[in-house]
């Protein structure tokens, strides 16, 4: 018994000692692994920091997990890896990085050394103390950042003042299409604006299709505006100088796209996102702003708004007076019509979730005030190149007598638009007639326009115009598709048919038997590109002109005139009819008699 007890004791002791020994070994091993993990994380974070300084986009983005989230100092700055690349990538390509001097870094790892977290205390020139924190995880490709959070510590004694500045900034952002920032420019921001100004000025000088820049004394523009930039006190001041620079060309397709538009990539449906709409479209008819369409099931329809109603006021803005003011400002501008229509439409847009109150003169000439919520526009979200997000929609329906109707708002997203168009054309080979509606179409890819024209051509391939570049000239040739649609076709156009939509209308007019009905297009037909500036803004610049073969002239500032002019008609709109569509149907019916 005693021996057995002794044996049991000895065995137990051996087990216990052995267990504790392995536990000691295990603890040591764990510590080694943890130390190794921390060292690896430290190396990765150092590479990340260095990549930012060296503008090494590949290394920088390579440190982020595919599902990583980057939280910037601005409330709106919540980036996925994809949107971060879109935002920072262009600056990296231009060699623009930033330096952050890491003073201290603390790294922690979880029990299995698969997850870690860190905090860094840094200094950034002109910005002072910064703090970055985040979470990392171990992947097959090493440690990756799954969350990265950049912040500025705010001393307690000034926190109320800072909060007041933020509140003021938000209040201003809510009422303007472009956020204004009245805080003083930092040295770093000033440098970015300087670089952007130089870049824009040189790009236009070197790439505009006309080496004479349309007669603009470009050096004089520099000499005038550069000092204004040097004296700019706030970001808004500097923005205005950049805007002024591009507007000096006095042609379309020059613009500075606010960086805020890019910060909303992937968030365009969220409350507060730009681009909120009511669901109604307006046009200027005899100096009145008329509702010409109301989307079914939209806030405008739900509010009881009807086509043919006249806008008298939008919130506190008196529409007739504002319209007169804008009309006078752009009196001699060849794009006045589209500017007025765009201005009117932009006033009934804003941030998703906001409300606007519009006072209408209804069908009985009585005043009615309607408060309308702004919602995300319909359509498929598209993001291409450096364009901000955009929604593309296609509407297909048919009228009596088997007249088929196709409407779309942009020559973008070929998978959506061209697939629908191809199907539409195929399905309507025996239709009585076809109406293609590009009123309000904002343009896009010229090649899509040419592909669409190809459905309606007969005979051999043909050219309808030239694209003129600084050092080159390209002939625009459209070939008829293998199978074409030969039914009577009407294309509807108006003053908000812009750019590729006008290009399309011009090709239709020159190469097919289709009829153009409506009003003259915008006259904004230049080939352009968009790049990102060091400030983060987008920069659209026109580099190519389009010359119609038929007229031998540019369409820029001129537009495409319809075969049949049909203006929106209030009476018809109040009766729920569309004058241009009615005219199109009448013509189609005359072709088959």
Partner 1 sequence: MNFSLLRQQVNKAVVAIEFVLIIGTLILAAPHLQAQETETKQAASKTTQDLPSGEDVMAKHIAKTGGQQAYDKIKNRVSESTLEIVGQNVSLDIKTYAARPNKTLVKIDSELTGKIEKGSDGKVFWENSLISGPVIHDGVQRSMGLRDSTFERFVHWKTIYESAECVNVKMVGDSECYEVLLQPKKFDPADEDESPIHVFFDTSSYLIHKLQAVIELEVGKIDVVAYPGDYREVDGIMMAHKVRMELMGQTREVTVKSTKHNVKLPENLFDLPDEVRKLVK
Residues that bind partner 1 (CB under 8 A): 86, 89-90, 93, 203, 206-209, 252-253, 338, 342, 382, 384-387, 390, 413-415, 418-419, 422, 442-448, 450-451, 454, 461, 467, 469-477, 479, 481-482, 498-500, 503, 522, 524-532, 540, 542-544
> What is the smallest separation between the CB atom of 480 and partner 1, expressed in angstroms?
9
Nearer to partner 1, 121 or 205 (CB): 205
> What is the smallest separation between the CB atom of 283 and partner 1, expressed in angstroms?
16
Nearer to partner 1, 543 or 581 (CB): 543
> What is the smallest separation between the CB atom of 483 and partner 1, expressed in angstroms?
8
φ, ψ for residue 145, nearest 5 deg: -85, 125
Nearer to partner 1, 134 or 451 (CB): 451
> What is the smallest separation between the CB atom of 331 and partner 1, expressed in angstroms?
20
Q: Quick check: 106 and 4 in contact, CB under 8 A?
A: no
Nearer to partner 1, 169 or 422 (CB): 422
Nearer to partner 1, 443 or 518 (CB): 443
Q: Quick check: 521 and 508 in contact, CB under 8 A?
A: no
Let me know the angle formed at the C-alpha of 579 by 574 and 585, rounded to the nearest 5 degrees. Answer: 130
Reference 48, options 90, 84, 76; nearest CA is 84
> What is the smallest separation between the CB atom of 484 and partner 1, expressed in angstroms?
10
> What is the smallest separation between the CB atom of 422 and partner 1, expressed in angstroms?
7
Q: Quick check: 496 and 439 in contact, CB under 8 A?
A: yes
Nearer to partner 1, 143 or 539 (CB): 539
Q: Is 395 exposed, middle or buried (0-12, 13-18, 19+ CB in 10 A)?
A: middle
Instruction: Transcribe 511-522 into DSSP letters.
Output: HSS-EEEES---
Nearer to partner 1, 135 or 338 (CB): 338
Nearer to partner 1, 34 or 251 (CB): 251
Cα separation, 180 vs 170, in Å, equals: 9
Cα separation, 498 vs 449, in Å, equals: 12
> What is the smallest separation between the CB atom of 212 and partner 1, expressed in angstroms?
14
DSSP β-bridge partners for residue 407? 395, 437
Dihedral class, residue 275 (left if φ above 0, else alpha if ψ from -120 to 50, else beta): left
- What is the per-residue burial (b if ≥16 Cβ within 10 Å, else e) of 422-456? eebbeebeebbbbbbbbbbbbbbbbebbbbbbbbb
> What is the smallest separation between the CB atom of 467 and partner 1, expressed in angstroms?
5
**Alpha helices (H) in 289-402, listed in sequence order:** 299-302, 319-329, 336-347
> What is the smallest separation between the CB atom of 321 and partner 1, expressed in angstroms?
25
Nearer to partner 1, 313 or 530 (CB): 530
Cα-based distances in Å from 248 to 183, 222, 253, 422, 487: 27, 10, 12, 41, 45
């Amino acid at each position: 018994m005693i021996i057995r007890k002794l044996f049991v004791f000895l065995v137990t002791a051996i087990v216990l000692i052995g267990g504790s020994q392995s536990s000691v070994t295990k603890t040591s091993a764990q510590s080694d692994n943890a130390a190794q993990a921390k060292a690896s994380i430290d190396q990765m974070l150092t590479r990340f920091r260095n990549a930012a300084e060296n503008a090494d986009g590949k290394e920088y983005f390579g440190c982020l997990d595919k599902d990583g989230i980057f939280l910037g100092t601005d409330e709106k700055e919540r980036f996925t890896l994809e949107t971060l690349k879109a935002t920072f990538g262009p600056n990296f390509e231009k060699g623009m990085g930033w330096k952050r001097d890491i003073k201290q870094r603390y790294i922690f790892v979880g029990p299995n050394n698969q997850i870690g977290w860190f905090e860094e205390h840094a200094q950034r020139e002109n910005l002072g103390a910064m703090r970055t924190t985040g979470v990392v995880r171990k992947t097959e490709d090493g440690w990756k950042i799954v969350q990265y959070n950049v912040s500025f510590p705010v001393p307690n004694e000034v926190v109320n003042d800072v909060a007041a500045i933020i509140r003021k900034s938000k209040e201003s952002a809510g009422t303007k299409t472009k956020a204004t920032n009245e805080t003083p420019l930092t040295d770093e921001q000033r440098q970015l604006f300087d670089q952007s100004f130089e870049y824009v000025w040189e790009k236009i000088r070197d790439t505009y299709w006309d080496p004479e820049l349309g007669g603009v004394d470009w050096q004089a523009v520099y000499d005038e505006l550069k000092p204004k930039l040097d004296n700019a006190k706030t970001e808004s001041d500097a923005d205005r100088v950049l805007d002024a620079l591009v507007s000096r060309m006095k042609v379309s397709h020059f613009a500075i796209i606010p960086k805020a538009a890019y910060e909303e990539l992937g968030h365009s449906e969220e409350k507060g996102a730009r681009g909120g709409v009511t669901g109604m479209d307006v046009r200027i008819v005899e100096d009145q702003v008329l509702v010409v369409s109301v989307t079914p099931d939209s806030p405008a329809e739900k509010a009881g708004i009807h086509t043919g109603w006249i806008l008298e006021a939008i919130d506190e803005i008196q529409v007739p007076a504002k319209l007169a003011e804008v009309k006078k400002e752009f009196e001699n501008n060849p794009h006045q019509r589209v500017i007025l229509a765009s201005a009117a439409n932009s006033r009934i847009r804003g941030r998703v979730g906001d409300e606007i109150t519009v006072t209408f003169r209804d069908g009985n000439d009585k005043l009615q005030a309607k408060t309308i919520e702004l919602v995300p526009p319909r359509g498929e979200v598209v993001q291409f190149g450096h364009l901000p997000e955009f929604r593309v929609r296609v509407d297909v329906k048919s009228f009596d007598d088997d007249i088929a109707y196709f409407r779309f708002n942009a020559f973008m997203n070929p998978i959506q638009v061209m697939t629908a168009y191809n199907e539409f054309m195929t399905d309507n080979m025996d239709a009585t007639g076809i109406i293609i509606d590009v009123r309000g179409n904002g343009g896009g890819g010229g090649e899509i326009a040419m592909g669409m024209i190809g459905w309606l051509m007969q005979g051999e391939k043909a050219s309808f115009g030239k694209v003129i570049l600084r050092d080159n000239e390209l002939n625009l040739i459209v070939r008829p598709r293998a199978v074409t649609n030969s039914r009577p076709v009407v294309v509807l156009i108006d003053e908000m048919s812009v750019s590729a939509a006008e290009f399309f209308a011009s090709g239709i007019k020159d190469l097919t038997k289709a009829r153009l009905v409506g009003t003259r297009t915008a006259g904004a037909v230049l080939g352009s590109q968009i790049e990102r500036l060091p400030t983060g803004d987008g920069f659209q610049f026109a580099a190519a002109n389009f010359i119609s073969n038929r007229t031998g002239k540019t369409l820029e500032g001129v537009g495409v005139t319809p075969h049949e002019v049909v203006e929106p008609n209030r009476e018809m709109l109040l009766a729920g009819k569309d004058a241009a569509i009615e005219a199109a149907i009448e013509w189609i019916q005359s072709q088959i008699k």
